[in-house]
């Protein structure tokens, strides 16, 4: 029996299928006692037990690997004098999501999320990123005067219902042929984070002129959990992302109130950049 165990062990995808059953104890006992222990150390035997008695056999994991069929969904040009490279930004989606613009209740679960590529003029990949969602798109946005337009990457987090789930947009530039994500920090704070905004029934953002450049404004209505549970209360957070000549700074203020995204709030409600 021991020799059979060793022989089968050397074929790892078949070994677990062999020992799972009534022969587990006998097979593993002989395997432990009669095989060359210099070949099968104690840590290795423990690992073997963990693998063989896992909830799913290895064959099941292999069967669950999803096959993706990526095709080009979008291509935006890049230029040497503007971006430091002649090439393209490309979004690829799994073919099932080529004509989807928003996720819904019938959108299938998938691991085939969209991919972002930066390619040179010969279609050589310079940069790639697997995104978080299968539905994603790019557009150019003007943020800084006398600078090439930035890129807005939208990933759709919609679930087909609810007031808070929806697309999330992050921003980046292509500088010297490299992707540079826009980052921000709160006013009077040191911690830096990625700049992103969202859209939903209770969240909205817009780009507005601010001096020579542009600011990004976001409004978000959320339940106010600090109020008693038997009272329905909401607050609205107004955020302004402002470029001060060196970095993006986030200014925010919160007021009590309720807002559904039917039209943008009055710009006077947003905090001013200092």
pLDDT at 229: 58
State whether 86 and 214 are in the same domain: yes
Quote the distance between the C-alpha of residue 204 and its chain's center: 20
Whether 59 and 80 map to the same domain: the answer is: no
Q: Does 262 fall in a domain? A: yes
- Residue entry with tokens 């992050």: 170
**Which range has the worst mean pLDDT, 48-57, 150-159, 192-201, 255-264?**
48-57
**Which pLDDT score is estimated for 9?**
38
Q: Check whether 153 has a pLDDT greater than 80.
A: yes
pLDDT exceeds cutoff 80 at 34? no
Tell me, what's the pLDDT at 179? 96
Average of per-residue pLDDT across 41-61: 47
260 in the same domain as 208: yes
Residue 224 lies in a domain: yes
pLDDT bin (cut points 50, 70, 90) of residue 171 is very high
pLDDT reported for residue 84:
95
Per-residue tokens: 113: 């999320």
Q: Are residues 154 and 205 in the same domain?
A: yes
The answer to whether the CB of 259 falls within 8 A of the CB of 237 is no
**Boundary-marking domain end, from 15, 46, 64:** 64
Lowest mean pLDDT among 64-68, 136-140, 142-146: 64-68
53 pLDDT more than 70: no
Residue that the structure tokens 């789930």 belong to: 165
Give the separation between CA 178 and CA 127, rounded to whole angstroms.
8
Higher pLDDT pick, 161 / 251: 251
- Look at residue 109 in the predicted model and tell me its pLDDT: 86
9 with 60, same domain: the answer is yes
R_g (Cα) of the chain, nearest Å: 27
Strands 125-130 vs 136-141: parallel, antiparallel or unpaired: unpaired
Residues 55 and 78 in one domain: no
% of the chain exceeding 90 in pLDDT: 52
For residue 274, tell me if it sits in a domain. Answer: no
Q: What is the average pLDDT across 110-134?
A: 95
- Structural domain for 236, as ranges: 70-269
Return the DSSP state at 65: P
User: Within 10 A of 206 (CB to CB), how many other CB atoms are there?
Assistant: 14
Domain boundary among 64, 87, 110: 64
Q: Residue 36: pLDDT above 80? A: no
Specify whether 152 is located in the same domain as 249: yes
128 CB contacts (<8 Å, ≥6 apart)?
Answer: 115, 116, 117, 118
Residue 64 is predicted with a pLDDT of 64
Look at residue 148 and tell me if it is in a domain: yes
Do 189 and 240 have their domain in common?
Answer: yes
Mean pLDDT of the chain: 79
Tokens of 206: 């817009």
Any domain includes 127: yes
* Residue closest to 21 by CA, chosen among 62, 63, 60, 53: 53
pLDDT at 184: 95
Q: Is the pLDDT reported for residue 121 higher than 70?
A: yes
Domain count, the chain: 2
d(CA 197, CA 102): 17
Region of poorest pLDDT, from 184-193, 206-215, 255-264: 255-264
Let me know whether 175 and 151 are in one domain.
yes
Q: Is the domain of 115 the same as that of 224?
A: yes
By percentage, how much of the chain surpasses pLDDT 70? 74
pLDDT digits (tens, 9 = 90+) for 82-115: 999 999 999 999 999 998 888 777 788 899 999 9
Q: Is the same domain home to 119 and 55?
A: no
Residue 199: CB atoms within 10 A of its CB come to 18
Residues belonging to the chain? 274
For the segment 62-83, the average pLDDT, to the nearest whole number, is 87
CA-CA-CA-CA torsion for 89, 91, 92, 95, nearest 10 degrees? -140
Q: What is the mean pLDDT of residues 71-83?
A: 96
Residues 51 and 86 in one domain: no
Count CB neighbours of 3 within 10 A. 11
At which of 64, 80, 103 does a domain end? 64
Residue 156: band (very low, low, confident or very high) from pLDDT cuts 50, 70, 90: very high
């Amino acid at each position: 029996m021991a020799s059979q165990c060793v022989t089968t062990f050397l074929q790892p995808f078949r070994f677990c299928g062999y020992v799972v059953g009534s022969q587990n104890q006998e097979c593993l006992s002989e395997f432990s006692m009669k095989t060359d222990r210099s070949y099968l150390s104690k840590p290795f035997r423990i690992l073997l037990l963990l693998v063989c008695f896992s909830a799913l056999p290895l064959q099941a994991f292999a069967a669950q690997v999803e096959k993706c069929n990526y095709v080009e969904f979008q291509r935006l040009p890049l230029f040497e004098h503007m971006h430091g490279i002649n090439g393209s930004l490309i979004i690829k989606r799994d073919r099932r999501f080529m004509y989807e613009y928003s996720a819904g209740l019938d959108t299938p679960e998938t691991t085939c999320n969209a991919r972002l590529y930066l390619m040179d003029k010969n279609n050589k990949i310079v940069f790639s990123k697997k995104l978080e969602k299968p539905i994603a798109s790019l557009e150019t946005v003007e943020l800084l005067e006398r600078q090439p337009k930035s890129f807005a990457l939208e990933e759709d987090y919609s679930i087909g219902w609810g007031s808070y789930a929806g697309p999330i947009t992050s921003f980046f530039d292509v500088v010297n042929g490299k992707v540079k994500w826009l980052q921000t920090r709160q006013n009077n704070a040191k911690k830096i984070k990625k700049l992103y905004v969202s859209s939903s029934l209770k969240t909205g953002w817009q780009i507005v002129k601010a001096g020579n450049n542009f600011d990004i404004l976001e409004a978000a209505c959320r339940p106010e959990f600090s109020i008693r549970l038997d009272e329905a209360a909401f607050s609205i957070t107004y955020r302004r992302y402002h470029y001060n000549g060196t970095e993006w700074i986030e200014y925010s203020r919160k007021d009590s109130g309720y807002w559904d995204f039917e039209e943008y709030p009055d710009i006077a409600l947003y905090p001013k950049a200092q």
